[in-house]
Structures are given as structure tokens and as C-alpha cells.
């Protein structure tokens, strides 16, 4: 321990090496439940690429595991410490190095907060579309690590579609540069895509070249109330089959609607069993909203409320933004992240309802309906061991259901510790073995975020 701290301090500025046990312990885990966290040996805050290289060289020399972290807003345990590790916090590497409006790109360090990049890009009339719910606090490095998504994925896609190139420090301290700054480029294997979503198990991202898009017009939003999730999901399918590309399409089930009403008195009718929010940000947004309103009515909507302006749109979106905080107020929560084909969304929601009934639990579902990504939120009393066990079983049953419906156990939160077993089931033995071989090429000693994903 003494040798490790001394070696690290030789290449890091004063205050960048922390050994205070209370401070170190506070960085031992992210926001995931049911995930063990070890006791770190030391916490470090590098500010430059060279300092990250020093940390990794030291770790390799001493055979010490390294757990990279961003803002620790993750929900899969991917940033949880292991015993005796170096916790490598990248939050002080938070500079936006460049915004290039001609080539529509930004160059950033990993500690840049998602919202900070969005605001900086907006000064040039540009936007960085991936917008996780935690965008005001989560970092770009963490977004890259998990392959994060957000509310606008249905139109604009996820993080991997915006990462053009990366600077990555490998386990032995070498600096790898991947990708490009050009609009096109297919030279060699696509290591950039490989690294996105790797959760710090292959290397430590120290710089990213990100694609930007022209800033869209403020969205207009429609809210449609349904007497059941089947009807709401039928509306989702009708919208997508009709050739529309909404900028947002979110679905909340009855449990979530009730929780939001209780928290914020939104005035949604108690009879609402599903609430669908659809938004458009293109030049024909009013006409598109009107057409979608008719599709919702045809699918059985009991009430359709299209916003007339931005203020009304913001009011409607407020219900969606309050969904997770409202469910959190009901007890301890476990947030699942299962994505299924849009055509199976109704089956997914119905299956979750059966799981809730069987487990005698409250499970609210909020869904990025446009891309089939559901977030079932299991609510339980953590002080009741028997109920906590039922919650964990229900969580796993939801993942099994997602796979049965042709889906995936994570659409945007990552695998981390929480879903390692389920990754193996989803990939199969051949896929899992190839991924382990790739891991060994990048990290032969196995010191980078050990125990995560594979």
C-alpha cells in the first residue's frame, strides 16, 4: 500500500492522491442496487493524459487493479470498486477542447458533463443529441463507457453513433488513438465502436471526438391517454409503421402515472392506464402531430392532447421527467433496462405486470417506446429481507422475459456487475469466448475494471 501510494504521488499533482478512508469509501460504488463494492486502496484524480498514463504504468508494474469512474451515475455496478484497487476518477479532466462548426464535431475530455457539452454546442447552433436522464450530471466518459442512450434515441440514436474517434490509455500506459475527424472513414477494424460500451475493461478514454448535429427546432409534444398498455403499444406500432420519425416517444404505465400524480398533482385521470408522449422537432411538426393524434385515436386513445406551443410541450414532458423520481419516493428501487423489438413491446409490458402480480410487488414501467427500450422499476422495502429477495427474483425474471421476446438485457445502462450472468446467456458460449479473447489482447494482466461485464 505504501509503495503504491508513493509511486502514484510521484507522477500526480498535490491533492490528486487520496487515502482518507471515508473519502475513498464514498467513491466505492455507483447508483446500482444489489451490487457488491470492494474496498479501494487509493483514489486518484488525474488531470492530464500523461498523468493517466502514469497511473496505468504504476498499476501494471505493481499488478494492481484499476477501476475507472466518471460521475458514478451508472445503474449496473460498472464503476464499483474491487478490493485493493486504484479508483481512477476522471472528473477533473473536464475540458471542452474544441468545437468545430464546419466539420460539426467536438473534442472533449472524459469528465465533461453531458449538459455542459450540449450548452456549449448550442452557442454554435449545434447539438449533441444523446441525452441520458442524468444528463445534468453524467459525464461523456461514462456515456461512452456504457454506450448511453436517452429520450431522443428514436430519432437521433445512441452514443456509439456520435463517437468518431478516441484517445485511450491502455493497461500498460500506451496511448491508443482510434477513429477519425473526417465525415467518412473505414480504415482498419473499427476499434472506436469496440471501445464504446466496453465499460473501462479495455482501456481508459482520455479524449473523444464527437459528431454534432444542427440544433433542431423546439419540439411539439402530444400526450395520449389509453385504457390499457396494449392499446398504447398498438399506437406506437402504428406511428412507426406509418413512416413517422418522432424525436421522442415515451410510454408510462398506470403505476408510473399514479406515482407522478401523487408526487406532482399533474391532474392525469385516475382511469389512465398508459400515457404516451410523442414529439416532433422538424419543419412539419404540427402536421405530423395531427396525423399521430389520429393514429392514437384509432388505436383506442381515450384522450389526446396536442401541445400548441413550446410552453405546453414542456408541461407535458414534465410528467415523463418526474417518472423515476416519483417511483423512487415509493421505496427502494431497482431499475431494469431491457430492450425488445417494438412489435413485442405490448408483450413485454404485459409480462412485467404478471411478474409484479406473482411477486406481490409494485413495478412501474417507463419506456423509450420508440426504440423498444423499457425501464421496469421494481419498488420494494429494503429493510424486509424476504421482500428484497422477491424483488431480486422479479428483476431477473424481467431480464429472462426480455430475452424470450427476442430482446437484450441492456439497451443503454450497460452490464457492469449486475448483469454478468445474463450477458453470458445472451451472447452464448462462442460469443462470450471471443469477447474474453479480445479482453486479453487489450488487458493481458486483467487489471482494468476486473469482474465487470465478462
What cell numbers appear for 186 in the block? 473505414
64/56 Cα distance (integer angstroms): 9
C-alpha cell read off for 441: 489482447
**What is d(CA 326, CA 437) in angstroms, rounded to the nearest whole number?**
43
Q: Which residue has the cell 486504484?
A: 86
- What does the DSSP assignment read for 78-105? TT---TTPEEEE-TT---EEEEETTTTE
Q: Please state, in angstroms and rounded to a whole number, the distance separating the CA atoms of residues 282 and 246.
A: 9
**Rg of the chain taking only CA atoms, in angstroms:** 22
Give the per-residue pLDDT at 451.
Answer: 95
- For the domain made up of 96-214, give the CATH fold: 3.30.465
Nearest to 69 by CA among 91, 53, 54: 91
pLDDT range class, residue 312, cuts 50, 70, 90: confident
Q: Which residues pair with 214 in a beta bridge?
A: 126
Statement: 2-89 belongs to CATH 3.30.43.10: yes
Interhelix angle for 345-359 vs 385-404, to 10°?
A: 160
Task: Evaluate if residue 33 carries a pLDDT over 80.
Answer: no
Residue 265: band (very low, low, confident or very high) from pLDDT cuts 50, 70, 90: confident
DSSP string of 19-57?
Answer: --HHHHHHTS--S-SS------SEEE---SHHHHHHHHH
pLDDT at 240: 97
The pLDDT tens digits of the residues spanning 362-401 come to 999 999 999 999 999 999 999 999 999 999 999 999 999 9
pLDDT tens, position by position, 225-243: 999 999 999 999 999 999 9
Mean pLDDT taken over the chain: 96
Report the percent of the chain where pLDDT is more than 70.
Answer: 100
Asked if residue 1 has pLDDT above 80, the reply is: no
**440 vs 67: CA distance, rounded Å:** 17
CA distance 258 to 190: 45
Can you tell me which residue has the cell 474474453?
A: 436
CATH of segment(s) 218-319: 3.30.70.3450
Asked if residue 392 lies in contact with residue 34, where contact means CB atoms within 8 angstroms, the answer is: yes
Q: What is the mean pLDDT of residues 253-266?
A: 92
The pLDDT of 188-213, averaged and rounded, is: 98
Per-residue pLDDT tens over the stretch 406-431: 999 999 999 999 999 999 999 999 99
Spans of all domains in the chain:
2-89, 96-214, 218-319
The Cα-based distances of 387 to 10, 193, 234, 383, 401 in angstroms read: 50, 40, 34, 8, 21
pLDDT tens digits for 130-187? Answer: 989 888 999 999 999 999 998 899 999 999 999 999 999 999 999 999 999 999 999 9
Q: Cell 450477458 appears where? A: 423
Question: Residues 59-97: pLDDT tens digits?
Answer: 999 999 999 999 999 999 999 999 999 999 999 999 999
- Per residue in 97-125, pLDDT (tens digit) is 999 999 999 999 999 999 999 999 999 99
402: nearest Cα among 435, 379, 372: 372
Amino acid at each position: 500500500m505504501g509503495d503504491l501510494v508513493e509511486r502514484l504521488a510521484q507522477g500526480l499533482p498535490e491533492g490528486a492522491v487520496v487515502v482518507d478512508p471515508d473519502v475513498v469509501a464514498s467513491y466505492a460504488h455507483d447508483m446500482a442496487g444489489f451490487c457488491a463494492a470492494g474496498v479501494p486502496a487509493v483514489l486518484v484524480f488525474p488531470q492530464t493524459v500523461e498523468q493517466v498514463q502514469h497511473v496505468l504504468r504504476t498499476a501494471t508494474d505493481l499488478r494492481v487493479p484499476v477501476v475507472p469512474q466518471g460521475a458514478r451515475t451508472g445503474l449496473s455496478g460498472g464503476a464499483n470498486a474491487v478490493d485493493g484497487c486504484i479508483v481512477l476518477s476522471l472528473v477533473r479532466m473536464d475540458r471542452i477542447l474544441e468545437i468545430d462548426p464546419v466539420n460539426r464535431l467536438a473534442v472533449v475530455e472524459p469528465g465533461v458533463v453531458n449538459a455542459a457539452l450540449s450548452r456549449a454546442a448550442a452557442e454554435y447552433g449545434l447539438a449533441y443529441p444523446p441525452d441520458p436522464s442524468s444528463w445534468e450530471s453524467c459525464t461523456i466518459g461514462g456515456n461512452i463507457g456504457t454506450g448511453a442512450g436517452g429520450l431522443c434515441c428514436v430519432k437521433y440514436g445512441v452514443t456509439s453513433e456520435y463517437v468518431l474517434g478516441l484517445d485511450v490509455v491502455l493497461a500498460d500506459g500506451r496511448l491508443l488513438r482510434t477513429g477519425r475527424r473526417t465525415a467518412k472513414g473505414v480504415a482498419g477494424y473499427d476499434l472506436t465502436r469496440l471501445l464504446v460500451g466496453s465499460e473501462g475493461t479495455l482501456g481508459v478514454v482520455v479524449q473523444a471526438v464527437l459528431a454534432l448535429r444542427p440544433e433542431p427546432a423546439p419540439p411539439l409534444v402530444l400526450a395520449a391517454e389509453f385504457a390499457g398498455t396494449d392499446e398504447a403499444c398498438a399506437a406506437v406500432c402504428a406511428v412507426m409503421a406509418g413512416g413517422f420519425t418522432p424525436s421522442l416517444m415515451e410510454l408510462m404505465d398506470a403505476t408510473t402515472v399514479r406515482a407522478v400524480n401523487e408526487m406532482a398533482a399533474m391532474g392525469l385521470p385516475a382511469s389512465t392506464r398508459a400515457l404516451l408522449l410523442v414529439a416532433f422537432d422538424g419543419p412539419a411538426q404540427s402536421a405530423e402531430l395531427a396525423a399521430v393524434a389520429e393514429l392514437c385515436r384509432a388505436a383506442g386513445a381515450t384522450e389526446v392532447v396536442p401541445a400548441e406551443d413550446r410552453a405546453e410541450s414542456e408541461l407535458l414532458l414534465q410528467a415523463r421527467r418526474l417518472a423515476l423520481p416519483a417511483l423512487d419516493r415509493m421505496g427502494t428501487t431497482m431499475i431494469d433496462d431491457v430492450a425488445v423489438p417494438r412489435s413485442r413491446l405490448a408483450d413485454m409490458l404485459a409480462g412485467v405486470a404478471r411478474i409484479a402480480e406473482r411477486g406481490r410487488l409494485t413495478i412501474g414501467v417507463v419506456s423509450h417506446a420508440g426504440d423498444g427500450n423499457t425501464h421496469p422499476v421494481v419498488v420494494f422495502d429494503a429493510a424486509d429481507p424476504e421482500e428484497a429477495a422477491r424483488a431480486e427474483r422479479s428483476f431477473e425474471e424481467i431480464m429472462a422475459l426480455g430475452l424470450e421476446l427476442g430482446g437484450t438485457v441492456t439497451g443503454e445502462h450497460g452490464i457492469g456487475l449486475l448483469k454478468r450472468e445474463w450477458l453470458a446467456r445472451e451472447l452464448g458460449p462462442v460469443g462470450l469466448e471471443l469477447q474474453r479473447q479480445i479482453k486479453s489482447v487489450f488487458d493481458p494482466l486483467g487489471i482494468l475494471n476486473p469482474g465487470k461485464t465478462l
